[in-house]
Chain A
């Protein structure tokens, strides 16, 4: 039993945190068109993490990708990394993978009729085939992650199929990053904002809400890393672990943002403050694919057996 990242994995996490906070700082202009820095991601090797070396990747595992998903969430990265790596990659053959690793092609996947970043990716995995990304982005709760409805053109066969557990584990990791950032913003505000002559973090009504967020974040992190390990190892629990992790982490991220907004008072409710951007990403993660209650129904099927109709 060894439940911690290796020194190399911790170094990757540190590097990702540093690069992302420099390239996607919290005080950036979120309303301007967002550059997804795709070529830089390719250069960093992030697009080929789990792609074999002979296909131009680095031949690592989903665990390293999980680390990146958490950090991309923490930085509120706007580009289609989730679409390409979480939704599409498992379905792609060697040539398509090589093009992904090189940063030449952006992908997404259709899930329950919706395609993230439809207006900005090149190709889409849908109904067992690949399609050109035709169709428009629709106004979406998180504008940095628009959804669209694919106009199906010519179908191209795929080498593999999407991996639902992997996508859910990725979403869970991203949610952990969002929740962690919301917690840190809440702590920072509670330490510095003064009312009645004291920092508001002195008041237990405030500090206990943040303590509960911390407990939620750590639980979400444990489930997300467990799911990521199961996916990376092809463990038989991967499916139930990923459902559990996504259900819990998405709700934890939403709750973390809601508590952070409350702790910030009126400031937290303004367009100017970045908290609402994190909140909207959390809501997106909670609602995309299967909602927490649907995921818990899957968990119930796994632990109770499939329901008997009465």
Chain B
């Protein structure tokens, strides 16, 4: 056990800090997320710089344009970019989900066509999984995929799709065989978002911004070559995607939370420095941030030693989401009546945090996963 950076990690961190200093303008160090990801053209520019600097796809194999670096470097990258309040790579869906899925299930042509463009932000991807009738229950998707010669004809509706309104490509899960048993009739494919019949409608959220979209598919023709995995194997391919969604996610979440906790500390110093109860609550948030950080480190060490993420990592998203909701509310509260004003940060973050316990696995589903897969309790369904 040694909680310090190894000499190699320390060198990587120092090099990265210097690179950020040289490449991230001071006025862009206040990244708050949300629709800024689409509205600020710097997001794409920054993604290109990350690619040219060799920081896009750090853990991707070198043969696919990645750096082939250990997970610890990815963790350091996420920590340092969050501390600098830098934008994330705009291709989060491509780098974190579509790319790894193509690496595992794609043909050589598909790998050649997409992987390096995902890293360079030439291609932006979105995810077509959830539907109005299929949220947590992915196997219930009803978007139809009908084989007609060399194409599938796609009809249906997807929802909660971030980046869809600017995306070039979509990873889509649909139903190709309605008569097959559950899980067996699903098929997974890539869809060119510029295909005739694809329509995107932004969905406005409680923050007032539109980060996600509905996607409507009307007689969209998708070449058979766009399949990922075989027809009817969509469920297994989708599991590859979701596994990668959870990979080093904990570090990204913790790094963002550290920014929020540091801001909370600033607010507390200015507003409630003599209030023992408020100080106690701020301390609790700082403590839970450390708990999340060191739980990630334990999971990372297990991943590096065994190649499999440790079970303790399963709590990261659950606890992060609840903590982010609690502490953004506390930030608003510590500002007193001024907490009602839209200050451009706390106001937005507090409202946005309500989505945290719903997106990428609701807290209810995550507790089911912990209960059934980690604690080995009997299945609830």
Contacts and interface: CB of A to CB of B under 8 A. Distances in A.
A269 interface: no
A191 B377 contact: yes
Contacts of B290: 222-223, 226, 241, 244
A214 B375 contact: yes
A1 B380 contact: no
A4 B298 CA distance: 6
Interface in B339-381: 364, 366-368, 370-372, 374-380
A199 B375 CA distance: 14
Given A1-B301, A303-B286, A307-B273, A211 B292 contact: no
Contacts of B367: 204, 207-208, 211-212
B1 interface: yes
Interface residues of B, number: 52
B131 to A, nearest CB: 24
A162 B298 CA distance: 30
A60 interface: no
Contact of B291 (A201, A214, A223, A310): A223
Nearest to B302: A4
B223 to A, nearest CB: 43
Interface stretch (A40-48, A271-279, A293-301): A293-301
Contacts of A121: none
A82 interface: no
B336 interface: no
A190 interface: yes
Contacts of A179: none
A4 B378 contact: no
Nearest to B72: A1
Interface in A222-247: 222-223, 225-226, 229-230, 241, 244, 247
Interface centre among B269, B286, B372, B375 (most CB of A within 10 A): B375
A3 B298 contact: yes
B190 interface: no
B319 interface: yes
A304 B282 contact: yes
B8 to A, nearest CB: 10
B194 interface: no
Nearest to A218: B312
Contact of A304 (B3, B279, B302, B368): B279
Interface of B is mostly: helix
A196 interface: no
A1 B297 contact: yes
Given A3-B294, A4-B301, A223-B290, A207 B280 contact: no
Interface in A1-58: 1-6, 9
Contacts of A214: 315, 370, 374-375
B52 interface: no
Given A1-B301, A296-B283, A304 B269 contact: yes
A307 B301 contact: no
B297 A297 contact: no
Classify the secondary structure of A's interface with B: helix
Contacts of B265: 303-304
A214 B316 CA distance: 12
B279 A300 contact: yes
B120 to A, nearest CB: 29
A159 interface: no
B295 interface: yes
A225 B284 CA distance: 18
A307 B287 CA distance: 18
26 contacts: A1-B72, A2-B6, A2-B301, A3-B294, A3-B300, A5-B1, A210-B371, A211-B374, A212-B367, A214-B375, A215-B319, A218-B312, A219-B295, A219-B315, A221-B312, A222-B312, A247-B287, A248-B287, A293-B280, A297-B279, A297-B283, A304-B268, A304-B269, A307-B279, A308-B273, A309-B274
6 smallest beta-carbon distances between A and B, as pairs: A310-B274, A207-B371, A222-B294, A219-B291, A201-B377, A300-B279
Interface of B: 1-6, 9, 72, 75, 265, 268-269, 273-274, 276, 279-280, 282-284, 286-288, 290-292, 294-295, 297-298, 300-302, 305, 312, 315, 318-319, 364, 366-368, 370-372, 374-380
Interface of A: 1-6, 9, 63, 187, 190-191, 198-199, 201-204, 207-208, 210-212, 214-215, 218-223, 225-226, 229-230, 241, 244, 247-248, 293, 296-297, 299-300, 303-305, 307-310
Given A218-B312, A300-B282, A304-B283, 19 more contacts: A1-B2, A1-B4, A4-B301, A4-B305, A201-B371, A207-B367, A211-B367, A214-B370, A215-B318, A225-B1, A225-B294, A247-B287, A293-B280, A296-B279, A297-B276, A303-B265, A303-B282, A303-B283, A304-B273
